Amino acid sequence: MKEYVLITGASSGIGSHLAMHFAESSYSLLLLARREDLLQEVKEKCLKINPEIIVETFLCDVRSDEELKKVHDFINENDLHLKIVIANAGIPVQGYVANLTVDDYKYQFETNVFGVLRTFYFFKDHLIKSKGHLALLGSVASYISSPKLTPYCMSKFAVKALSEGLFFEMKKFGVKCTLICPGLVESQIRQVNNKGQYKPDAKDPAPDWIILDTKSATLQMKKAILKGKKEVIITGHGKFMVFIQRHFPWFIDFLNSKNIMSG
């Protein structure tokens, strides 16, 4: 029986590289994303890595119950053995609080929080049946909030809170839950605007020297999922920042004050 991994936001960045890593480990794949052309490219790469697996792609926005239900029904109709679900889809909303609106925050939460919840609700029974594994994409921003990033940080704090509860709630069903908190990883997310639109010409604001390549980062993520870790922080920079927040929070305050002054 083939074991399947379902990944949301699978068309680029972390999602696409996780798909390729799991293909290397002979997992079949259910790949969900909003960009069909990129999904097909990821599918081709995964099949080139391992022609023995099955790769199904779905145009799916995690804000849509209807689109997630189609994937849910496909799994049921084909009696697939869903072993791992990775709720990876996410977008950033940025700006000073005073310049944003409640609708901006709602838009952020609809994908990053309620999209994660929808993913859980639609596939939890499959995971209970397989005694599988749920992985949620948090962030170092699950620990540290920053000026001009409060919508995104709030959403990732919420994902961390959700994961903390789900870890224990799902444990009694034999389902593991892993929170993945990356620092700065090579990704298109920082080139996505406040409306969820990818802008390829937008400059990545993060300095190159601090960004971990996606392949290395996602390999660490895959290992953490397969080991059943409760939580993993990815990148040395990310681990350092979380350590500082825990033990020297005044230094984070200092950095945030500098960010405001320079903004």
Domain count, the chain: 1
Q: Is 6 helix (H, G, I), strand (E, B) or coil?
A: strand
Is pLDDT above 50 for 261? no
68: CATH: 3.40.50.720
Q: How confident is the model at residue 206 (pLDDT cuts 50, 70, 90)?
A: low
Beta-strand pair 231-234/133-137: unpaired
What's the rounded mean pLDDT across residues 186-201?
Answer: 56
Residues 6+ apart with CB under 8 A from 221: 14, 18, 135, 180, 182, 232, 234
pLDDT in tens, 106-133: 999 999 999 999 999 999 999 999 999 9
Q: Is residue 254 part of a domain?
A: no
pLDDT in tens, 62-84: 999 999 999 999 999 999 999 99
Q: pTM, whole model, 2 decimals? A: 0.88
Q: Is residue 249 part of a domain?
A: no
Is pLDDT above 90 for 26? yes
Residue-range definition of the domain harbouring residue 50:
3-236
CA-to-CA distance for 222 and 83, rounded, in angstroms?
13
Q: Is residue 189 part of a domain?
A: yes
What's the rounded mean pLDDT across residues 82-96?
Answer: 95
Half-sphere exposure of 13 (CA within 13 A, CB side): 23
